[in-house]
Structure 1
């Protein structure tokens, strides 16, 4: 098996890390990025992802993706991309594992509802919430709040999708705009190639597993996908290679191949952009005029059509709409109750919400709800709005 050349000159290295906001002695067994990864895996917010919605609410089936399984798939793809591009695999994996820590229960329905409820009180954005989780809300260490992640990991969490200075006037982004003024995350520049690999791995993972989950859920069939760009040709090629393959194995093999097609496209387009833009250093990456880890134009066009199909046949299917509607009502009712009566919240959270400043109260209520799993939110709502009478029989 041939070995790839040594790490690329534009790759990040733990040895050259800009360090942590609170200085710490180095680990004897791990570099800085691997240590960040381990802190994320061991934190409470990461464990909660096991029962947070991707598309289907966690209790709807055992085999659908959750935020946890999605994050693991993203991290695997990000690590593979980093390996092929000669980047730092630990950093790519770490950013991928962290990218969904701020998602509330019930997926995008939950985020939409918290955005609506928080609109008068500073807004809500799941990317900012992820940043707040790793810099403030996780309290696991006696010396600092948050996880005290390295500069490169925090940079990747904040701007894996590109520069964010245009967002800093949005109320929800105040937490990032105000964070450690003396510790510049360079919000006007692109993030590392490792963070960009994590971002595109997210796109690869969710487009493929949403096809897989949608077929399993009976929202559409493989036959419905036959003429959809990207997945359609892959299905035809798989059937040609395996004429007698069962529908289940056809689905699994086609999704596996589609992941490979998308990864190959990203690698080719990224190598082209790196060469075309003369990228030779880490600073070249941050000063670049565009995202460097990207799909080709042809792939983007095909993905656009696939996403339109998924939007029409899956994300807005009446069964999914019913769940979204229920989820939004659950969160809205709890938010209103907690704002009016913070004393019904658990003691620690009630103390945080017991403020005469409505903005501080709302943020505490929002943090509490955003941290819930789907199952916990359903159960908490039931306890708050259904009076259980214990019968002494």
Structure 2
């Protein structure tokens, strides 16, 4: 498939921090995707919470399955718009690499613990994972991804953090700034990054409806209070009346969600095509100076927002979820305090030598540096965090 003139062309990448020879059989963004898939942080996503804790059920989404769903949606839309599918996939698969165990509750707790040391934000941590924390190559830390992939991973960033990042982006000073420059100049990311941001939101709403009903915390009747769900629910029953049987409840829900997903995908494609036709960008570089181009229509944006608000009130703030996340926050706070006080607990013995996780500098970890503690905790899976918490405190807060 040929790329549109406004797509990200791998032959025109602004390069990697550490120059490398081109791969003989892969484009630069394909290479980025492959490095992400083979990373340790990516494998850990399978045991990291999306909404429901890992031990609560085998069929609930995890950070890994969420990332795969975002990648699938993103690639489908990118193909139709003639954007770079490989870059979309790379960004989608990497966007949650820095997420803590226990989802947003874990992030909130770790951010509280890190207030005196610059705070903690999972999206910024995702960039830190691919830039620094993965240690797989002999000549550099991180995965040494292309500039455009790194910029796409950085979905949002405060001005203070953007300034700190730009101070480290020496290689890109003379070519328009580093990966955080757009947060200072108020310009837009690539169309591929814009698409990943929207695919993330689409995936969230769809799979959280499914998981909410599967968990028993939401009912179809409750979901029908939301106009967009009610409309598709009625359409599906009109086309397939046999799904009204109680025995077909699961199939009915799947079909409603499938129809909603399809409608949202086609809405993004149509709206984006119209915006591109109006803006007429002649290159990927011109995209940055334009308003956001990958978007829902106003009507679909409103409906998606209504569903998001509903899920926030009825699912994410459900008493059962809040109670679980309250305990999860305690796990993070207790671990942070324990490792800060006894940093040697983050080291393991290999032969006669104490080494840090993933080969990180043992001296840096061993002095109790708060950022090193945050890196260690953020890299944990749910079940490893619970295991370590029980080992360090003697408490078992969750019954598996």
Q: Contact between 1:131 and 1:176, CA under 8 Å: does it hold in 2?
A: no
Residue by residue over 1:245-301, the C-alpha shift from the partner in whole angstroms, topping out at 9 and shown as x without a partner, is 11010011111111111111111111122122232221220111x211111111121
What is the distance in 2 between the residues matched to 1:335 and 1:7? Answer: 47
Q: Does 1:169 align with 2:160?
A: yes
Q: Does 1:362 align with 2:370?
A: yes
SS at match of 1:25: coil
SS at match of 1:147: coil
Q: Does 1:263 align with 2:282?
A: no
What is the distance in 1 between the residues matched to 2:26 and 2:41? Answer: 22
| Deviation, structure 1 residue 354 | 3.0
1:273 alignment partner in structure 2: 275
**Runs of at least 5 residues in structure 1 that lack an aligned partner in the other structure:** 389-393
Q: 1:41 aligns with which of 33, 37, 58?
A: 37
Q: Does 1:181 align with 2:160?
A: no
Q: 1:148 aligns with which of 144, 155, 166?
A: 144
SS at match of 1:46: helix
1:105 alignment partner in structure 2: 101
2:359 alignment partner in structure 1: none
What is the distance in 1 between the residues matched to 2:12 and 2:363? Answer: 42
| Deviation, structure 1 residue 34 | 0.3
What is the distance in 1 between the residues matched to 2:326 and 2:62? Answer: 19
1:353 alignment partner in structure 2: 365
What is the distance in 1 between the residues matched to 2:295 and 2:108? Answer: 27
SS at match of 2:323: helix
| Deviation, structure 1 residue 177 | 3.1
| Deviation, structure 1 residue 180 | 2.5
What is the distance in 2 between the residues matched to 1:134 and 1:276? Answer: 36
Q: Contact between 1:133 and 1:146, CA under 8 Å: does it hold in 2?
A: yes
SS at match of 1:244: helix
| Deviation, structure 1 residue 157 | 1.2
| Deviation, structure 1 residue 122 | 0.9
1:236 alignment partner in structure 2: 234
Residue by residue over 1:51-91, the C-alpha shift from the partner in whole angstroms, topping out at 9 and shown as x without a partner, is 00000011110100000000000001111111011111101
What is the distance in 2 between the residues matched to 1:298 and 1:13? Answer: 32
**Runs of at least 5 residues in structure 2 that lack an aligned partner in the other structure:** 349-354, 357-361
2:252 alignment partner in structure 1: 250
Residue by residue over 1:126-168, the C-alpha shift from the partner in whole angstroms, topping out at 9 and shown as x without a partner, is 111001000000000000100000111111112x45xx5xx23
What is the distance in 2 between the residues matched to 1:112 and 1:35? Answer: 33
TM-score under structure 1 normalisation? 0.91
Q: 1:20 aligns with which of 2, 12, 16?
A: 16
| Deviation, structure 1 residue 175 | 5.4
TM-score under structure 2 normalisation? 0.90
* RMSD across aligned positions (CA): 1.7
| Deviation, structure 1 residue 370 | 0.3
SS at match of 1:104: coil
- Counting matched residue pairs gives 372
| Deviation, structure 1 residue 174 | 6.1
Runs of 4+ with >6 A deviation = none
Q: Contact between 2:46 and 2:64, CA under 8 Å: does it hold in 1?
A: yes
Q: How does 1:300-319 map to 2 (within 5 A)?
A: 300-319=301-320
| Deviation, structure 1 residue 343 | 2.0
| Deviation, structure 1 residue 200 | 0.7
Are residues 129 and 174 of structure 1, via their aligned partners in 2, closer, same or farther at CA, if it must alter by over 3 Å? farther
2:351 alignment partner in structure 1: none
Q: Contact between 1:135 and 1:146, CA under 8 Å: does it hold in 2?
A: yes
SS at match of 2:72: helix
What is the distance in 1 between the residues matched to 2:163 and 2:363? Answer: 23
What is the distance in 2 between the residues matched to 1:242 and 1:12? Answer: 42
| Deviation, structure 1 residue 381 | 0.3
Q: Contact between 2:18 and 2:140, CA under 8 Å: does it hold in 1?
A: yes
2:216 alignment partner in structure 1: 218
2:327 alignment partner in structure 1: 326
1:391 alignment partner in structure 2: none
| Deviation, structure 1 residue 352 | 2.4
Q: Contact between 2:107 and 2:120, CA under 8 Å: does it hold in 1?
A: yes
1:342 alignment partner in structure 2: 343
1:385 alignment partner in structure 2: 393
What is the distance in 1 between the residues matched to 2:217 and 2:40? Answer: 33
1:208 alignment partner in structure 2: 206
